[in-house]
Structure 1
Amino acid sequence: MRTTIVRTEDIAVSCDQVNGWTVVEVDGEVDVRTHSRIREAAIALLGDGHRHFVLDLSFVPFLDSMGLGTVVAVTRLIRQYEGSLRITCPSARMLKVFQHGGL
């Protein structure tokens, strides 16, 4: 059952449990205005005991350097809790952002 964690005019973050993984779906641009919402969602989920995540960026049309930095920060945070993070994004353009960022 999908649960909405954050919903604003600019971004929506929801999660669902699939085969032991917490799938976090982001819908909207991840930029200087919205990046903190993803971090807040990760902190809340970690606080609820979730440890293994899939970050679904399928509905993210744009990710700037602040968004990329947030993904790195969230990855480090999850690792502190001995968890893991996988990222899914079907967009070749989005994949290039991660490659250029050294991820």
Structure 2
Amino acid sequence: MHPEFAISHRDEKGWTVVEVHGEVDVSTVPRIREYISACIEAGRYHLIVDLVGVSFMDSTGLGLFVHIGKRIRTHAGDLRLVITNPNVLQIFHITNLHQSLQIHDSAKVAME
């Protein structure tokens, strides 16, 4: 586990905002999956995953967010991502996932 990795959440305006800091990769994805699954199991179906503090993401991270998006939709929920790092954003554009996952530049905008 990367020492700089951290995950937390807060509830705001009907949304659960999950903040991730550090790297999203094969070593951290299981922890993120477990954390977000606990949110979903607690009935939090309107999720914003704030990735502003993420410095790197690999393909396991992309797969995780595709999976979470599908799982949330089975509950008539909504998943929105907040990404400002150009390198992380580029991965979503190269894979065309920006077309199927809502990406915003701040949690405030994502709540609108």
TM class by shorter-chain length? 0.7 to 0.9
Q: TM-score, normalised by structure 1?
A: 0.86
How far did 1:11 drift? Answer: 2.2
1:43 aligns with 2:33: no
The alignment partner of 1:14 has SS state of strand
Q: Which residue of 2 aligns with 1:78?
A: 72
How far 1:9 moved relative to its partner?
3.1
1:25 match: 19
1:99 aligns with 2:93: yes
TM-score (norm 2): 0.80
SS of alignment partner, residue 21 of structure 2: strand
Classify the secondary structure of the residue corresponding to 1:29: strand
Identity of paired residues, percent?
A: 41
Aligned length in residues: 97
1:10 Cα deviation (Å)?
5.2
Shift of 1:8: 7.0
User: Any idea what the Cα deviations from partners look like across 1:49-93, whole Å, max 9, x if unmatched?
Assistant: 111011100000000011111111111111112110111111122
- Consecutive unaligned residues of structure 1, counting only runs of 5 or more, are 1-6
CA distance in 2, matches of 1:15, 1:97: 24
